[in-house]
Structure 1
């Protein structure tokens, strides 16, 4: 990797990076002190260190390329770490297949970290598939910092070998492009204000909101398309580019019975306490309550909340839903209480859009999202109904040490929807939606998602859209195990910038099943591999799709590196 007087922007001294990140930061800082220019060059520049960004970096690095990876927060890992969603949303076959080899290795290393370093109880040691939190939403519910440590372990060899430059607390702020090519990207350290120019043969936009797309002049869409535009069964009647899914500011709670950890009453608590979501179809009462709209039927549904873990038949106990530590899995006395991640309908923020707005508006909406999460916490501590007829659980402790922030809230909001490229090929509901497939496919194919000739990966999740800024309620229905088509990863015009997050060529509707942890990872890995293959073959990703032999060779290249391209027939039996 060529360097010319570069001042590093790692932002060391945060204390939030843990051992491996601190080691990386110190390593970079030492080198930066001896240099002075602000330009870096690599084979690939990746903006955004989330799931897609990490997977893209690993795919390019293991194939011999040099990489600069920028990340806006203190932590890599995106939704799995700094956004707090460390209960990955996955499909029922995930323990055996249905993701790339590297994603399955990530899960295995997270488990191995617990079994190798944590004092486990006998029942935990005997578990076939150890789940640290025994949360009901996922087969692997764990602490965010464990995932961070594992992701750092993936990257550390390349960092120390000089193949990777990791720039934390660094945000993309500009790009230079002409014709159909991007020439460089400019980024800024959010702590020091230092700017630098990053040059590469290829650029990958793995940011959470597709921030590089407008800066580089890449054509994109946002929000909800209309039925007339996409012919999708569940599309809106009228398009609304500003209608994006809610974001959520997650946090972690511990329950310590008999203690009092009530926070100060939030300034605008009374607003949120009485707030009735103005959604259509209507929401069943106040947002801060134990009733919500059942996502699939939109009928009122009763929820439970009991941090002692007790359940009532037929009622979901929210405490157990995203529990990330079950103290029974560990030796007695290690944890004072159980830990649960709070990412619920009650702290989904949908009163303001954060895509294509100015910085002041973005910060204002994010602050309101945080205010909602703090209000939810206070409500749980003081007013939520208890099974014994009382109100509130004062023993709920906000764990400010879990997410690397002083206030205990996630470093970045959990993002469900991004800008999306105008792609060579767009994934529609008719390709992956169970009901829509029946209308367009033959009887023999109606029970399967569309088969893409240019498949570069697979994934599965139901189509799940949370309430949006356009004041729509949930959109939630069945999909089918699907493929990731290369055409959805290619912008129509620009040749050397690819998306690797939720900014691929889906629609508002199909984003609902392509946005989850293993799929985002698979997208990033396919993009990174496409860049590496293109440079090796002296071609480009668009040409791979357009040339039958090149595509065949690339698909074999992916499979040789552990990327599944097709679902096994056994899932349909």
Structure 2
């Protein structure tokens, strides 16, 4: 995929400066400048360019703040782009349960297709166009379109020099003075260039909570025990190494009558014969169209047909995360549909990613890639067909869809991060439907948080874990996002803006999806903005009723819903 240059600038002491390395975003805007500067300063430094990081940066920028946005890969957008995951959203998403800016983002995605793609008249006329018609979401679309929309949203702030965009940089160390972060040092992933970033606020929007250990911010990871949280589904013994599977997603299409067979993956024999060691037990081999149903854990058959045909009562995996439905476009434009492989069969749970060496991180990511490629090869050669045959050799890897040469996503789809020890931690009793019935007469409603900074919904969905837990999947209730979950107990100028907020292993399962992450990031960006304007602190805003009410009014004016209505 052709990566185009994107301008980057910073305001430092009233002087316009530019970053040293080439900044790539996938949009043809501006040009690249070079400089030998090694220090940069802004009001707010956002580390992590996923949905939470982009939302935090945009919220601060539109309110006049100077922002540095740092991203580890060469694509912004996190789970929606570099990780290849179409948005997981709730059933009310078109009318409520997301911020105004997130809904604007979605509208721009649809508009991009209408303006630029050869849609049929019928598809073009749909108010709620779903380009892929994938069943996982009301808006399944290509990662590159999300990338283009994010580029459009950020472009004015690059132009007016309020935003410095540092792509392919990773945080490697921090200077901390007491309970304040003073500097974050980042390093370019390819040329090794190091930069010191100074700010009044630092927002951790990384996929794994990378700033927490670097800054000495207290955090937890893995599973808490029932004794610690009193959660209905918590285990008796805590285990910080027990974390949800991550996934290396894969893009593919299907060309009937053609042969696109890949070389046999080097670890294919291992994954072909692999039987997960789970409690309760898995349904059989991992590479199979049977799996353990998340809710019941009973062996359940899935279907697979890459021409989108019905497979009886079984879910057709091809349709689940389909991002292009060729029938939405004029004849002759697409040879076949395009779909994303992010299924139970390519969840990787033989190791976790937080707090491991770079070598171990790479080892697990490479193994996860082998799993996804092995599943793809199995589909090409051995998957049962409705006609009694085996394999679909017309399946074709589409690395161009994900901006890679191997067909796999740029970065792992991470479901679980380090989590701050926060002023408030969301427990299962606050949002879990079954647990609520034990603690409240209002068991049909989630707990109401006086410090709500947003709302969201998703069922509590925990994928198989690194220590052998099978799916843990059960109902939750439409919930609020408490301000206290974004604020560390001790650190004064560090905020969480991704899956690293104050949840437990269990409640992470419903706070980790696309619109909730965006809302969390937007609230963090607005909190930093508000405290700078009022010359106060996040802790003081939450503790002072007058400040909190004023801040929540500010959020609502910015288009953030803080309560659910009429559901």
TM-score by length of 1: 0.96
Q: In the alignment, which residue of structure 1 is the partner of 2:55?
A: 55
**Aligned with 2:175: secondary structure?**
strand
Q: Which residue of 1 aligns with 2:90?
A: 91
- 2:540 is paired with a residue of what secondary structure? helix
Q: How far does residue 121 in structure 1 lie from its aligned partner after superposition?
A: 1.0
Q: Match for residue 532 of structure 2?
A: 535
Contact 1:6 1:39 in 2 (8 A): no
Q: Residue deviations 1:521-542, cap 9 Å, x none?
A: 0000000000000000111111
TM-score by length of 2: 0.97
Aligned residues of 1:501 and 1:524 also touching (Cα < 8 A): yes
Q: CA deviation at 1:389?
A: 0.7
The alpha carbon displacement at 1:6 in A equals: 6.9
Separation in structure 1 between the aligned mates of residue 109 and residue 123 of structure 2, nearest angstrom: 15
* Residue matched to 1:487: 484
Instruction: State the partner residue of 2:398.
Output: 399
Q: CA deviation at 1:5?
A: 10
Partner of 2:290: 291
Aligned position for 1:201? 200
**Which structure 1 residue ranges, 5 or more long, are not aligned?**
none
Q: 3-state SS of the aligned residue for 1:149?
A: helix
Structure 2 equivalent of residue 79 of structure 1: 79
Q: Secondary structure at the match of 2:368?
A: helix
1:517 matches 2:514: yes
Is 1:478 paired with 2:475?
Answer: yes
Q: Answer whether contact 1:10 1:166 (CA < 8 A) is retained.
A: no
Change (3 A) 1:490 1:507: same
Find runs of 4+ consecutive structure 1 residues off by over 2 angstroms: 3-12, 17-20, 125-128
Q: Superposed, which structure 2 residues align to 1:302-317 within 5 Å?
A: 302-317=301-316
Q: Per-residue deviation at 1:7?
A: 7.0
Q: Is the 8 A contact 1:224 1:508 kept in 2?
A: yes
Distance (Å, rounded) in 2 between the aligned partners of 1:461 and 1:279: 25
- Report the equivalent of 1:507: 504
Q: Name the CA distance, whole Å, in 2 between partners of 1:305 and 1:41.
A: 52
User: How far off is 1:446 after superposition?
Assistant: 1.3
Contact 1:6 1:36 in 2 (8 A): no
Distance 2:467 2:511 in 1: 21
CA distance in 2, matches of 1:10, 1:299: 52
Deviations 1:300-334 (A, max 9, x none): 11000000111133200000111100000000001
Structure 2: how far apart are the matches of 1:354 and 1:129? Answer: 37
Superposition pairs for residues 329-340 of structure 1, below 5 Å?
A: 329-340=328-339
Cα contact 2:307–2:336 (8 A) shared by 1: no
- Mapping of 1:111-510 within 5 angstroms? 111-442=110-441, 445-510=442-507
Instruction: Look up the match of 2:548.
Output: 551
Q: CA RMSD in A?
A: 1.2
CA distance in 2, matches of 1:355, 1:215: 12
Residue 232 to residue 10, structure 1, CA distance change in 2 (3 Å): farther
- Aligned partners of 1:446, 1:351: CA distance in 2, in Å? 37
SS in 2 for 1:401: helix
Q: CA deviation at 1:122?
A: 2.6
Residue 238 of structure 1, CA deviation:
1.1
- 1:348-400 CA-partner distances (Å, limit 9, x unpaired): 00001111111111111111001101111110111111111110000001012
Judge conservation of contact 2:181–2:202 (CA < 8 Å) in 1. yes
Q: Give 1:2's match in structure 2, choosing from 6, 9, 12.
A: 12
Are the equivalent residues in 2 in contact too, given 1:9–1:169 (CA < 8 A)?
Answer: no
Partner of 2:26: 18
Tell me by how many angstroms 1:425 deviates: 0.6
Could you tell me which runs of 5 or more consecutive residues in structure 2 were left unpaired when the two chains were aligned.
1-10
- Alignment check: 8 A CA contact 1:459 1:484 kept: yes
Q: Quick one: distance in 1 between partners of 2:527 and 2:120?
A: 44
Q: What per-residue deviation string (whole Å, max 9, x for no partner) do you get for residues 175-212 of structure 1?
A: 11121111000000011100010000000000000001
Are the aligned partners of 1:311 and 1:317 in contact in 2 as well (CA < 8 Å)?
yes
- How far did 1:435 drift? 0.4
Whole-angstrom distance in 1 between the partners of 2:303 and 2:101 = 37
User: Cα 1:280–1:533, aligned 2, differ >3 Å: closer, same or farther?
Assistant: same
Shift of 1:141: 0.5
Q: Secondary structure at the match of 2:27?
A: helix
Q: Does the residue aligned with 2:401 lie in a helix, a strand or coil?
A: coil
Query: CA offsets per residue over residues 50-83 of structure 1, 9 Å max, x none?
Result: 0000000011001100000000001000000010
Residue in 1 aligned with 2:559? 562
Contact 2:287 2:378 in 1 (8 A): yes
Determine helix, strand or coil for the equivalent of 2:422.
coil
